[in-house]
Amino acid sequence: MAEARASFDHPIFSESIRLIRAALADPSAPHAFHLEVWSPVEQDVLLRLIHSSGDLSLAQDVRFSEGACVAGLQALAAGAAILTDTAMAAAAVAPMARRTFGNAVHSVLDWAPPQAPEGSTRAAAGMAQALQAHPGAVVLIGSAPTALELLLDQVAAGQTAPPALVIGMPVGFVGVAESKRHLAQSPLPQIRLEGSRGGAGLVGAAVNALLRRAWLDQAAY
């Protein structure tokens, strides 16, 4: 197990995680947070999000639905595809996927038309096709609230199988709060970031934390 962990954790990364834990544990700090309220894998996700963003305040805004991380671990270990709303997020995830379970990683833009449909976006149009091609995928949305809304609508209407996990962290101000609220109201397993923050780097960090944990858990047996 120690050898497996060492192959993933550069000394700088390990020291960074130690410092983040110490900063969150400081009761006098403005962003103090009790990590113990979350499971070990939920802590892994949060710590990687903070490491990737340099933002300790993220601890206040990350939300996990019950059993979401376990569902994600199981799906990833079983080889589920990973769908992202941008090529940037796919690029952030692909190296860890290759090092672990070999999950296929696709941007939904691979299925998108050259031009956005009227009143929609290329990411939303591509999402509709990607969900049909990869039922039960782990879906990462860091930029396109329209893609998140389409996913929720299609699942609610029974037009596509529910994803194994949705990591919903679209960034920005137009449609973002609404899409995150709709995700929170859905029964889908989910990890989301409240507010206007998000982006490709954060959704990539979240799923990389899950891939790492699933791989290390497997190595322990």
196: which 2 tokens? Answer: 């206007």
Active site residue 51: yes
Among the listed residues 10, 31, 51, 106, the single catalytic one is 51
Cα separation, 170 vs 143, in Å, equals 4
Comparing C-alpha atoms, which of 60, 45, 8, 12 is closest to residue 203? 45
127: which 2 tokens? Answer: 């999402």
Q: 3-state SS of the chain?
A: CHHHHHHHCCHHHHHHHHHHHHHHHCCCCCCCCCHHHCCHHHHHHHHHHHHHHCCHHHHHCEEECCCHHHHHHHHHHCCCCEEECCHHHHHHHHHHHHHCCCCCEEEHHHHCCCCCCCCCCHHHHHHHHHHHHCCCCEEEECCCHHHHHHHHHHHHCCCCCCCCEEEECCCCCCCHHHHHHHHHHCCCCEEEECCCCCCHHHHHHHHHHHHHHHHHHHHCC
The residue type found at 39 is S
Residues known to be catalytic: 51
